[in-house]
Chains A and B, each alone.
Chain A
Amino acid sequence: MIWYFLTLIILVLIAPLLLSFIKMFKMVLLFKKPISIFQGYRDFSKLMQKETIISHEASELTRYAPFLVLSPLLVVMLFLPPVIEGSFYVNFVDAFTITGLISLSTFFLMLLGLDSASSFGGMGSSREAFISALVEPAMVLTIFSVSMMADNLSVAQAGVNLAHHFPKEHMASFLFAGISFFILLLAENGRIPVDNPETHLELTMVHEAMILDITGVYLAIIETASSIKFVVFSSLFVSLFLPFGLEYSPVVALLIFIAKLFLVAILVALTEVNMAKLRLFKVPNLLGISIVFAFLSLITFYVLGA
């Protein structure tokens, strides 16, 4: 139980670090003077000290929505697969609940975008709605296929099963599902081929546009929510698609897990450096690839025999 809570705390703490690390690594790759890896914490503490500015046009919803954006993601964190052999995990929550909770968070974020009566917010919400509607089927199919391979629909249990018995005979479907999930990770977290987290140009932004009118503590909460979303996705990716290293002693296992998270961050940074942001209407093609890979994964799994 103690390792369970320790993992949770470490995941929450490491969340801003990962995003700053991606930014730093990208800057190193582009031969820019890199920002500090602790920039995420600095931003957070600065935002916490600022006063809250609420728009005249906004309603009561703006005061509650930031909390409702963050809390479903925190609930998801409780249900992640264990990173240490023998530590406690919630062994029953399945993938639909997790995708549902993530959608709940996105739902309130989109409403928040529409609440301030700014056309930026509407634009961001509209684009986010478009992208997340297409992400949903790919997500469900991918997780369906992974849970078939792990022989359990519960996500945490699937992670444990995969660590104990890796399905070597289904390597093809496993790879397809992995590629599909990585595309989803990029799309859901607003990384480059889908959305550019660093831009403030109205033509390109999605996530930033929705929160343009949010300041102070509320902005800190939303930023935390997006970093936690990244940690949730990358630790799901790590536990389901790189399921090794759990059996060592707790500290080593935890270190291996964190190393794997950074590996995902490096992968994301490399993708971002090597790709241009897609036009909004090309994004469905990318998500279509993800859907097709999810289908392929299921079909190869069925054809090769369950």
Chain B
Amino acid sequence: MFSFDTLSLVFIFLILLGAIPNIFYSSGYLSHVERKTHYQIHYFAFIFSMIGVVVSANALVFLFFWELMSLTSWQLILTNAEDKETIKAGRFYFFMTHFGFIFLLMFFIIVSNGNLELGFDAMKSIASGFEYPTMLFLFLSLGLLSKAGVVPLHVWLPYAHPSAPSPVSALMSGVMLKVAIYGMFRFLLDVLYPWPLEWGMLILTLGSISSLVGVLYALSEHDIKALLANHSIENIGIILIGFGMGMIFDTLGLETLSSFSFIAALFHSFNHMSFKSLLFMGAGSVLHQTGTKNIEKYGGLIKSMPVTALTFLLASISISALPPTNGFLSEWMIFQSMLGSSHIGDISLKMTIPFAVFSLAMTGGLAIACFVKAYGITFLGLHRSSNAKHAHEVNFLMKTGMIMMAVVIISLMLFTPFYIGLFDKVMVEFSRASVYHEIFPTVWSMHSVGTSGGVVSPLILLIALMVITALLMFAYRLSDKKIRFHNTWSCGYKTSGKTQYTATGFAGPIRRFFSWLYRPEEHLEKQTMAGQESKFDASSYEVHVTPLFEKSLYNSVAKLANVISYWVYRFAHFEKTRYSAMIFNLLLMVLFSYRLFVNGFSWGTFVLELVVMAMSIKILIIGDKK
């Protein structure tokens, strides 16, 4: 029923690393929550169910805990259910998570031959005997990736994460998304192995698109938690780039490179857990103090909330993949695995990889822009509203939670060899090549496994940076310069919170450059004086970006469903014969599809069935022309 192999243990470790600081933070946050019992019960059940998912050894237990995880997190989103937005987000989340659940269920029913109590180890033989492995792969990907929030199944994230209380968003984004990644490792490396090349390419493409889409929508957000939620989409994309590269290398028989890429994906999962949890906690503290999620209302919080500001800075540097932080190390590994593509023989495949390199590099650059915006507008400058003016540092428990998470980040940075060693054991367990000794010949430097690959040494970098900065500062202190304080120069006007750059303005150039993607709705209102365009005493500018995927993909599906139901209604309304004819046709369709699955596909029978269906629809439902 349960199994505690290395992969499960590694993910239990991830959940615990994410959950323990979070429990501290959550206890501090509790005063902010109205329905305390409801919250506590679901909160602990949520953590428990995530551990349940990663230790389960058969389909039934897995699905039980998976569903428990979905339901508890759904209830946690609805903690503050007075808000209309929250109810909408909860409904959206409920729909999306069950959309994924159905596909997972179908996957399990097929690979366990209908016996859901079958262990995972016995599934491999059934799966390899199944005629359409790509369908299994698609079911599994739809099920898991809708949970992980990969484009185009990502639309729920920017609604669900901001609505939940902050400790819960930290858990959902930091840990729950990784449980879906656990599913990828568990079922792809074992049950569905070996793969054709196309699967790896699909995962790589989805990863590249998600990383770009995530960071671009993050840049256009004003809501700090939605911004972070969009960054989760980006980071899951980066993890999938690593995973996809691993799959491609494995198909091509490059075993060490494949292990290296999978380890990079695992390492980035850990890193994303650490910094995203910390960022959500920091955002939660800011939200707790100012009472608003709107980033335009913050400013100058570094003076009143130093602990939050400092930990948020660490996490921002790490998520922007700047050296020598842990985020840089894992992104470096993913880059190196892509540079390993020079070992690929097939030239057309080889030439596609630079496009993924391009998207990952672009993501890195945009992430820096985004976190300069998030950090600079929130913590630096002057306060932009009275909410931010009266903010002060959060309580002891919340501070403890944030500091503990910062320690997790630093440990991932300093003890990289230990973590890579753990991930290497996972690879060995799935009978992959062990690459630990190639990555770390000594603990000082980290090597890529490709021939003449790159090297990075996190510790030496860190020490060099610290020593040089310390020397420079020491020299400055020695010189003992006089310091004078004066107002910021602003062309003779007074500096105030309103004269600063806003977050909207900060992202302006990027929003304008990518306006073909954003299609922003701009509202500009000016009260002009004496009919002159350039003189006005009051003006307001607002810009809203509706995600393209939501607009085109989801809303058009909803529209299509409306049209279909309208026609069904028109045909069937008040006519019992027609109504029963429709039921008959539906049954026919189910029977035919069942036959397709059981007996295999053949064009002859398919056309025959199509003709039968068409005739029965024409005669029974549409009838004669009047």
Residues of A within 8 A of B (CB): 48, 51-61, 64, 67-68, 70-72, 74-75, 78, 92-97, 100-101, 103-104, 106-107, 110-111, 113-123, 125-127, 129-130, 132-137, 139-141, 144, 147-148, 151-154, 212-213, 216-217, 221, 280-281, 284, 291, 295, 298-299, 302-303, 306
Chain A residues with CB under 8 A of B490: 118-120
Q: Is the interface of B mostly helix, strand, loop or mixed?
A: helix
Render B360-383 as a binary contact track against A, CB cut-off 8 A, 1 for contact: 011011101100110111011110
- A122 and B321 contact, CB distance less than 8 A: no
Taking A115-B381, A117-B382 as given, write out 20 further A-B residue pairs in contact, using a Cβ cutoff of 8 Å, ordered by the A residue number: A52-B484, A53-B485, A59-B380, A60-B302, A67-B469, A94-B456, A101-B323, A101-B461, A116-B488, A118-B499, A119-B490, A129-B368, A132-B368, A132-B369, A153-B339, A280-B509, A284-B513, A291-B358, A295-B354, A306-B342
A264 to B441, CA, bound (A): 39
- B357 and A281 contact, CB distance less than 8 A: no
User: Is B510's beta carbon under 8 Å from chain A?
Assistant: yes
B501 CB, nearest partner CB in chain A, Å: 2
State which of B357, B382, B482 has its C-beta within 8 Å of the C-beta of A57: B382
- B476 and A135 contact, CB distance less than 8 A: no
A251 to B445, CA, bound (A): 33
- A54 and B484 contact, CB distance less than 8 A: yes
Residue from A75, A96, A284 whose CB has the most chain B CB atoms within 10 Å:
A96
A250 to B366, CA, bound (A): 43
A126 to B505, CA, bound (A): 8
Chain A residues with CB under 8 A of B484: 51-54
A94 CB, nearest partner CB in chain B, Å: 3
Given that A61-B380, A67-B472, A126-B505 are contacting pairs, would A133 and B366 also be in contact in the complex, using a CB cutoff of 8 Å? yes
A31 to B321, CA, bound (A): 46
State which of A136, A144, A212, A295 has its C-beta within 8 Å of the C-beta of B365: A136
- B347 and A114 contact, CB distance less than 8 A: no
Interchain residue pairs with CB less than 8 A apart (29)? A55-B486, A59-B300, A60-B302, A71-B469, A92-B454, A92-B457, A93-B455, A96-B335, A101-B461, A103-B364, A104-B322, A104-B323, A110-B372, A113-B376, A114-B372, A114-B377, A115-B380, A117-B488, A118-B490, A118-B499, A121-B501, A122-B381, A122-B505, A126-B509, A147-B339, A213-B489, A281-B509, A281-B513, A302-B350
Which single residue of chain A is at the shortest CB-CB distance from B335? A96
Chain A residues with CB under 8 A of B453: 153
Chain A residues with CB under 8 A of B332: 96-97, 100
State which of A71, A103, A119, A148 has its C-beta within 8 Å of the C-beta of B472: A71
Chain A residues with CB under 8 A of B482: 51-52
Q: Which of B412-446 contact A (CB under 8 A)?
A: 445
- B465 and A75 contact, CB distance less than 8 A: yes
User: Is B483's beta carbon under 8 Å from chain A?
Assistant: yes
User: Is B508's beta carbon under 8 Å from chain A?
Assistant: yes
User: Is B260's beta carbon under 8 Å from chain A?
Assistant: no
Chain A residues with CB under 8 A of B361: 136-137, 139-141
Residues of B within 8 A of A (CB): 299-300, 302-303, 306, 317, 320-323, 328, 332, 335-336, 339, 342, 347, 350-351, 354, 357-359, 361-362, 364-366, 368-369, 372-373, 375-377, 379-382, 445, 448, 452-457, 461, 464-465, 468-469, 472-473, 476, 479, 481-490, 495, 497, 499-501, 505-510, 512-513
- A107 and B510 contact, CB distance less than 8 A: no
Chain A to chain B: the 6 pairs with minimum beta-carbon distance, closest first: A122-B501, A94-B454, A136-B365, A114-B376, A133-B365, A129-B369
Chain B residues with CB under 8 A of A97: 323, 332, 454, 456, 461
Given that A51-B482, A53-B486, A59-B380 are contacting pairs, would A144 and B454 also be in contact in the complex, using a CB cutoff of 8 Å? no
Chain B residues with CB under 8 A of A52: 481-484
Chain A residues with CB under 8 A of B499: 117-119
Chain A residues with CB under 8 A of B377: 114
A127 CB, nearest partner CB in chain B, Å: 6
- A133 and B368 contact, CB distance less than 8 A: yes
- B448 and A136 contact, CB distance less than 8 A: no
A233 CB, nearest partner CB in chain B, Å: 17
Which single residue of chain B is at the shortest CB-CB distance from A91? B455
- A61 and B479 contact, CB distance less than 8 A: no
A281 to B510, CA, bound (A): 9
- B354 and A141 contact, CB distance less than 8 A: yes
A4 to B433, CA, bound (A): 40
B514 CB, nearest partner CB in chain A, Å: 10
Chain A residues with CB under 8 A of B483: 51-54
A230 CB, nearest partner CB in chain B, Å: 19
Which single residue of chain B is at the shortest CB-CB distance from A153? B454
A121 to B453, CA, bound (A): 40
A160 to B620, CA, bound (A): 81
State which of B354, B369, B472 has its C-beta within 8 Å of the C-beta of A133: B369
Chain A residues with CB under 8 A of B457: 92-93
State which of B299, B300, B489, B495 has its C-beta within 8 Å of the C-beta of A212: B489
- A129 and B373 contact, CB distance less than 8 A: yes
A100 to B350, CA, bound (A): 25
- B506 and A135 contact, CB distance less than 8 A: no
Chain A residues with CB under 8 A of B373: 129
Chain A residues with CB under 8 A of B364: 103, 136
Chain A residues with CB under 8 A of B339: 144, 147, 153
- B454 and A96 contact, CB distance less than 8 A: yes
- A107 and B335 contact, CB distance less than 8 A: no
- B375 and A111 contact, CB distance less than 8 A: yes
Chain A residues with CB under 8 A of B359: 137
Which single residue of chain A is at the shortest CB-CB distance from B347? A302
- B513 and A111 contact, CB distance less than 8 A: no
A291 CB, nearest partner CB in chain B, Å: 7
Residue from A55, A113, A140, A217 whose CB has the most chain B CB atoms within 10 Å:
A140
Chain A residues with CB under 8 A of B489: 118, 212-213
A292 CB, nearest partner CB in chain B, Å: 11
A110 to B342, CA, bound (A): 36
Chain B residues with CB under 8 A of A133: 362, 365-366, 368-369, 510
A216 CB, nearest partner CB in chain B, Å: 7
State which of A93, A132, A213, A299 has its C-beta within 8 Å of the C-beta of B488: A213
A120 to B513, CA, bound (A): 21
